[in-house]
Chains A and B, each alone.
Chain A
């Protein structure tokens, strides 16, 4: 009995709710200008303490590393360093790999905006002719980097192997050549907007 009462009540409520909902007609919809947009600020850190693939060994001597150990210290350094993310791409059927290696660091930014903007003036006279909406990606004024790093390399296998004879799970056929690597610390000023639009 109680369940029937509940059922009737729910139906009544549902009808009530339905009565208050109204479909938006075209005129109302066209009055919506979607001015919101998104304001983003944040900080993200990737592989700061190393990836899940390798533990950081105690010494830079490569022959002593265990099968699951790898250090990505700068050449000549005596201190070991955790390794970041690795991305490998092969662009030829039987070829070698392009590698973006040791990608890691902390990045923070304040005020990255994303919104649409109608451009119908300015731009040295181009705006009036253009007269359409664009997606505006507002760059944050400052991007802060802490211990950011990456290396660009070429290799004969996608996954990294320890190629020093005598090391645990050594694969002496593995060949990787680092073309260059970069480290990034401090603040970079990036001011302005990137306007994105379909091109005819």
Chain B
């Protein structure tokens, strides 16, 4: 790098692009343990057919290299002030969601664009055309879990995702001095042309012919999810392990004062109203949209709608906003 290149760098973070990438763990033996059944016995889960490659892999049959992330819109690791970070609101406005005057560590996927973007799901305009990833930068991803539930019985869940993009996803972390803990906000955007879930291992008994496999497959076509966890200003996502060693995931009530979280707050006036109005105006929502859900049909070709079987049509959850969420683990 010469001086002019170096001087052009203003410390906005580090970009990453995956160039000609293929990931294939089909030759490895991966086992997940410590998940137990009702009697406390270990249920080992074997991970098989785990791959990531260029779109058009025909469910992992043909693994070709692909680029993920673009030079202009890379994966990035940023350390920035809260007021410098922006999130794309549903109406296309960039808004600040992180609190001001503190340093935020941010890991981002290729960003969304407000103009000149590409279709997030090809042939499905509703998923938006503000993805920076082009068709060539989408991937096929698959994984199969074999649950050894009992001697001689294995339950299979085989996932294959076609033309996946995750543009606009991010994880932001910072320290909250009032709560004396690590907090953050996350957005997980998943855009997939196809998503197939098969409950048997291809080639085994009752899972050999196309008809047998179709009867055990659920097909999602043209689906996307924007999962938003946390709104940094008033509802940060709290990652927590309690002092008695249990895991807690919490989204606190956004109108309450973090210094006095048990006190009631009047949301008709004053600071309570300001927090409520800001939260409803700017906090990102969660959407899950499946344009077509089919069970037991047959997909005539890659990316096409399945025919036959049971057609469950369109399913969607829109504008979901968490007012309060607390999930804790307990030992059984």
In the complex, chain B residues whose CB is within 8 Å of the CB of A75: 33-34, 36, 41-42
> Which of A95, A155, A175, A176 lies at the interface centre, i.e. has the most chain B CB atoms within 10 A of its CB?
A95
User: What sequence of 0s and 1s flags, for each residue 38-82 of chain B, a beta carbon within 8 Å of any chain A beta carbon?
Assistant: 000110100000000000000000000101001110101010000
Among the stretches A11-19, A41-49, A50-58, A119-127, the one at the interface with B is A119-127
User: Are the CB atoms of A182 and B31 closer together than 8 Å?
Assistant: yes
Which single residue of chain B is at the shortest CB-CB distance from A192?
Answer: B21
Q: Is A2 an interface residue (CB 8 A)?
A: no
Cα separation A151 to B33 with both chains bound (whole Å): 9
User: Are the CB atoms of B22 and A154 closer together than 8 Å?
Assistant: no
A185 partner, pick from B29, B44, B245, B246, beta carbons under 8 A: B29
Q: Is A133 an interface residue (CB 8 A)?
A: yes
Cα separation A156 to B67 with both chains bound (whole Å): 42
Please report the number of residue pairs spanning A and B whose Cβ atoms sit closer than 8 angstroms. 182
Chain B nearest CB, measured from A19 CB (Å): 32
Among the stretches A61-69, A86-94, A164-172, the one at the interface with B is A86-94
B242 partner, pick from A96, A178, A181, beta carbons under 8 A: A96
Q: Is B14 an interface residue (CB 8 A)?
A: yes
Cα separation A157 to B244 with both chains bound (whole Å): 9
In the complex, chain A residues whose CB is within 8 Å of the CB of B91: none
Cα separation A94 to B179 with both chains bound (whole Å): 10
In the complex, chain B residues whose CB is within 8 Å of the CB of A180: 32-35
Cα separation A174 to B182 with both chains bound (whole Å): 23
| A127 with B71, Cβ < 8 A, contacts A96-B241, A97-B241 known | yes
B245 partner, pick from A96, A124, A136, A199, beta carbons under 8 A: A96
Cα separation A194 to B74 with both chains bound (whole Å): 11
Cα separation A92 to B244 with both chains bound (whole Å): 13
Q: Is A195 an interface residue (CB 8 A)?
A: yes
User: Are the CB atoms of B22 and A192 closer together than 8 Å?
Assistant: yes
Chain A nearest CB, measured from B70 CB (Å): 5
> Which of B30, B71, B74 lies at the interface centre, i.e. has the most chain A CB atoms within 10 A of its CB?
B71
Q: Is B302 an interface residue (CB 8 A)?
A: no
User: Are the CB atoms of B240 and A91 closer together than 8 Å?
Assistant: yes
Chain A nearest CB, measured from B325 CB (Å): 18
User: Are the CB atoms of B245 and A186 closer together than 8 Å?
Assistant: no
Cα separation A186 to B30 with both chains bound (whole Å): 8
In the complex, chain A residues whose CB is within 8 Å of the CB of B14: 196-199
Q: Is B25 an interface residue (CB 8 A)?
A: yes
Which single residue of chain A is at the shortest CB-CB distance from B51?
Answer: A189
Interface residues of B (CB under 8 A from A): 1, 5, 8-25, 27-36, 41-42, 44, 65, 67, 70-72, 74, 76, 78, 134, 136, 179-182, 239-247, 329, 331
Known: A123-B71, A197-B71. 15 other contacts (CB 8 A): A75-B33, A76-B41, A93-B181, A94-B243, A124-B70, A132-B1, A151-B34, A179-B34, A184-B28, A184-B29, A186-B25, A186-B29, A189-B22, A198-B12, A199-B76
Interface residues of A (CB under 8 A from B): 74-76, 90-98, 119, 123-124, 126-127, 129-130, 132-134, 136, 139, 145, 151, 154-157, 174-200
